[in-house]
């Protein structure tokens, strides 16, 4: 299977603990050993938010804040490259074409963000589109897509399965409410929809869940996004 794995920065490196990065790299290595083609997009997480917060107070433009966020995603991507045993380019790819070429050489493609204006969720969806992946795994810090914010609403229920159109509607309504934190961004949802990609949104803090989702062993709890009928 050709798979794109999007690992949130808050999942991979919330505190820069080497064991956590090693655990995620080991799962990627196992997937490669099992014959899968794997591309990984790494996010910036809390470290990116801290830098962005400080720079915003210093008066940086939104564009420059995004550039700062992208720099942190690439730092996190370097951590993953350092821990991988599989063949991977030592420099994280800075654009999709480079990641695609890396995958074609038989390497694990690793990248962070690309350009201002979106997040690494969208980068992962676009990479999935460009390499025609069979699956995009969004390894986030939440266990899927919910009917409401589970931190604020006890009645919130996780969707086991959504069509891409349903995902777009849900994310659009989450992004409209102040202070909300959507599990994937709207552009990512729209890219999944237009290209008919299959995706899974899951809690990636335990990296074994990422492996289980790719191997489809039935144990994974999360939200599966399937192409519109």
The residue ranges that bind ligand UTP (CB under 6 A) are: 8-10, 43-45, 48-49, 65-66, 69-70, 73, 113-120, 123, 140
Least distance from ligand UTP to the Cβ atom of residue 218, Å: 26
Nearest residue to ligand UTP, using CB?
A: 69
Least distance from ligand UTP to the Cβ atom of residue 35, Å: 29
Asked if 182 and 149 count as a contact pair (C-beta separation under 8 A), the reply is no
CB of 25 or CB of 48, closer to ligand UTP? 48
Asked if 111 and 127 count as a contact pair (C-beta separation under 8 A), the reply is yes
Partner residues linked to 200 by β-bridges: 137, 224
Least distance from ligand UTP to the Cβ atom of residue 94, Å: 10
Paired tokens of 191: 């890219």
CB of 15 or CB of 217, closer to ligand UTP? 15
> What are the φ/ψ torsions at residue 94 (nearest 5 degrees)?
-100, -10
Least distance from ligand UTP to the Cβ atom of residue 8, Å: 3
CA distance 130 to 195: 10
Least distance from ligand UTP to the Cβ atom of residue 133, Å: 18
CB of 92 or CB of 113, closer to ligand UTP? 113
DSSP secondary structure letters along 155-220? T--B-SEEEHHHHHHHHHHHHHSTT---SS-HHHHHHHHHHT--EEEEE-SSTHHHHHHHHT-S--
Least distance from ligand UTP to the Cβ atom of residue 169, Å: 20
- The sign of the CA dihedral 28, 30, 32, 38 is negative
CB of 32 or CB of 125, closer to ligand UTP? 125
CB of 54 or CB of 219, closer to ligand UTP? 54
DSSP state of 204: -
Kindly list the distances between the CA atom of residue 212 and the CA atoms of 55, 139, 199, 203, in Å, as whole numbers in the listed order: 39, 12, 14, 12
CB of 32 or CB of 131, closer to ligand UTP? 131
């Amino acid at each position: 299977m050709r798979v794109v794995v999007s690992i949130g920065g808050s999942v991979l490196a919330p505190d820069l603990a080497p064991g956590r990065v090693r655990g995620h790299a080991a799962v990627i290595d196992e997937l490669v050993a099992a014959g899968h083609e794997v591309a990984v997009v790494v996010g910036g997480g809390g470290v990116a938010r801290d830098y962005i917060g400080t720079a915003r107070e210093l008066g940086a433009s939104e564009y420059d804040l995004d550039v700062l966020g992208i720099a942190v995603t690439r730092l996190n991507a370097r951590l993953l490259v350092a821990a991988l045993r599989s063949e991977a380019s030592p420099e994280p790819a800075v654009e999709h074409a480079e990641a695609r070429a890396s995958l074609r050489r038989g390497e694990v493609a690793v990248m962070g963000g690309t350009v201002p204006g979106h997040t690494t969720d969208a980068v992962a969806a676009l990479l999935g589109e460009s390499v025609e992946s069979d699956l995009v795994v969004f390894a986030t810090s939440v266990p899927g897509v919910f009917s409401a914010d589970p931190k604020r609403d006890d009645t919130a229920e996780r969707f086991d399965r959504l069509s891409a159109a349903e995902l777009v509607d849900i994310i659009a309504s989450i992004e409209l409410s102040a202070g909300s934190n959507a599990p994937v961004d709207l552009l990512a949802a729209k890219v999944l929809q237009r290209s008919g990609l299959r995706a899974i949104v899951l809690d990636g803090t335990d990296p074994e869940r990422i492996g289980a989702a790719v191997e489809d062993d039935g144990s994974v709890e999360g939200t599966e996004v399937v192409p519109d009928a």
